[in-house]
Structure 1
Amino acid sequence: MKTRRRLLATGAAAGIIALTPSTALAWGTPGESNGQKTETGGDGRGGSLTSRVTFRGAVGASGDGGGPGKAQPVGDWAPPACWYEPRSAPEFSKYVENTYDETVNTPGQHSYAKTSVGKFRDKYKDSEYENYNLDKADKGNWWVAVRDEDRWMEPEAQLCDKEPFWVENGDAPDVENAVTPQILAELAYNRVSLPTTEVTLAPPAATKVNLPTWAWLDRTTFKEVSVTAELNVGGLHIAATTTATPKSLKLGPGTDDAETYPASGECVINTDGSIGEPYAKGKAEQIPPCGIKYLRSSGDGTFNLQATITWDIAWTGTGGTGGDLPDGTFGNDQAVTVQEIQAVNR
């Protein structure tokens, strides 16, 4: 799957976005989620340029969904909804010129759209700047704002509202969210594909009321996963690898009439990378280190056991950078049948 990124524009350019959907000033889609290289330049109509951030590793979709999926950050932290990336002068020039040509030559195009795109073009061609700084192409880059289209309605996606601006080589862009290794690490956070959390239970088919049910996860299934995000454009080559490591398992019985082991319902990871302990013959009378005891039958139905893994998230990047990001959680429900213990009177 792809997540589109669009150029954020203010003033005159904003009108283009509203009035000309086919020619909006839009920086398009980042690298394929399988890590393939992105295309460069616009299409035949000049309608879009691709973001140069690419991803490789255990990459999944950036949206929500079941099955293998992304971590939900603990707390109110979220990966950036917008950020700034560099573009070369020739690339920026081609994009604006093609967008201008398409807008003014589209039959029935609203005059306001033509005026807006004309003002935007003049700013970079003949007014505040001269011919897109093409004579300085080896001395700097244009920096443009991109945003995550899946989150474009969020207030955070509107914060990168600066029109394209020029930055000389060696200078730092004077804006927040200019792409850095940490920004890349945070974007990779949203792409890490985590395995479905399905714990092994004993008894496996149906458990009994007041009988401890053992729960565990095999260490070969739950191991660290990583995604690397990389940007190589305009002389800027940076990368960051975000790694998720399983930390603990949280069990939610799906009913208040149950007890968990331990009482908190959180089973920490063992030194060998496993969680919990497999049931073995002779342990029927023991209390499991990780498990549940149901206090009533599920009747003709089942209880939805919520099994949620907490993942420790860390990153390393270009130039020896690195650090921790907020823990993430990912889990799912699995049906558990609980039966009454049948007694026989003699």
Structure 2
Amino acid sequence: MFGLGDFIGDVFDSYYKDGDPYKNYNLDKQGEGMFWAAAINDHRENDPEASACDRLPFWVPDGETPKEPLAVTPRVLAEYAYDELPLPKTEVTMAPAGETKVNLPTWVWLDKVKFKKVSVTATLPDTSLSATTTAEPISLKINPGTKDATTYPASGECPIVDGRIGEPWAKGKSKQTPPCGVKYLRSSGDGSYRLSATVTWKITWTSTTEGGDRLPDAEFGGDQNVTVEEIQSINR
């Protein structure tokens, strides 16, 4: 009985073994090239185009770039490297931390050790194709979680200055205006405000075979609870 598996086997034998278009799976050309086959990026398997490449595995001589429109290129490798960037969790440092007072400026900044330029290189094995993707934090956007608040600067977007976003609070700065921060104008009552912090990362890539370019900026955010209390005063 002849089954579907036999039919598929015959088709593949004809294609890769019997000379139409390959002979004996190109075993006599080992070291001169390799077969390329479709693969799906695990991070993007739900993308509509993830399964767009339905071509059978095909031979590519060493040093040549496939003419297949969906073949891996340095930019594709750069996008793959982007998915592997070890970006830190978006969590800001605040002073006062956790609890603050009405009309008291709260200083906000990012840990300079964690929030720094990071790079990942993706390489296609046994080829000269590679790309390095770099992410660099450029700004921090603060949303205090209530309209009853003032942000510093007024736009709520803190740029990077001298390699740092925001400035750590220190003794002697109590009467200064924070370069990056928030001042709550009303108590949070029995609850808390949900402060949202979003970091914008500039994404670039370079390659040994191409000049490289920019990828779209990336934004990653996180929320933190902030309790705001009224300042208690005692009259004598």
Give the match for residue 308 of structure 1.
198
Q: Establish whether residue 334 from structure 1 lines up as the match of residue 224 from structure 2.
A: yes
Give the match for residue 145 of structure 2.
254
Q: CA deviation at 1:211?
A: 2.1
SS in 2 for 1:237: coil
Q: State the TM-score, normalizing by the size of structure 2.
A: 0.86
How far apart, in 2, do the equivalents of 1:152 and 1:113 lie?
Answer: 27
Q: For residue 213 of structure 2, what is the amino acid of its counterpart? A: G
Higher normalized helix content (fraction of residues): 1
Mark the CA change 1:127 to 1:325 in structure 2 (over 3 Å): closer, same or farther.
same
SS in 1 for 2:161: coil
Matches within 5 A, 1:258-337: 258-271=149-162, 273-319=163-209, 321-337=211-227
Give the match for residue 70 of structure 2.
177
Q: Establish whether residue 202 from structure 1 lines up as the match of residue 95 from structure 2.
A: yes
Mark the CA change 1:195 to 1:152 in structure 2 (over 3 Å): closer, same or farther.
closer
- 2:91 touches 2:224 (CA, 8 Å); kept in 1? yes
Q: For residue 75 of structure 2, what is the amino acid of its counterpart? A: Q
Q: CA deviation at 1:158?
A: 1.9
Q: CA deviation at 1:117?
A: 4.4
How far apart, in 2, do the equivalents of 1:210 and 1:297 lie?
Answer: 10
Q: State the TM-score, normalizing by the size of structure 1.
A: 0.61
Give the match for residue 59 of structure 1.
none
Q: CA deviation at 1:187?
A: 0.8
- 2:139 touches 2:158 (CA, 8 Å); kept in 1? yes
Matches within 5 A, 1:67-106: none
- 2:95 touches 2:106 (CA, 8 Å); kept in 1? yes
Q: CA deviation at 1:169?
A: 4.1
Q: CA deviation at 1:275?
A: 1.4
- 1:177 touches 1:183 (CA, 8 Å); kept in 2? no
> What is the percentage of aligned positions where both structures have the same residue?
56
Q: CA deviation at 1:266?
A: 0.8
Aligned counterpart in structure 2 of residue 188 of structure 1, from 58, 81, 85: 81
How far apart, in 1, do the equivalents of 2:25 and 2:51 lie?
Answer: 25
Q: For residue 91 of structure 2, what is the amino acid of its counterpart? A: E
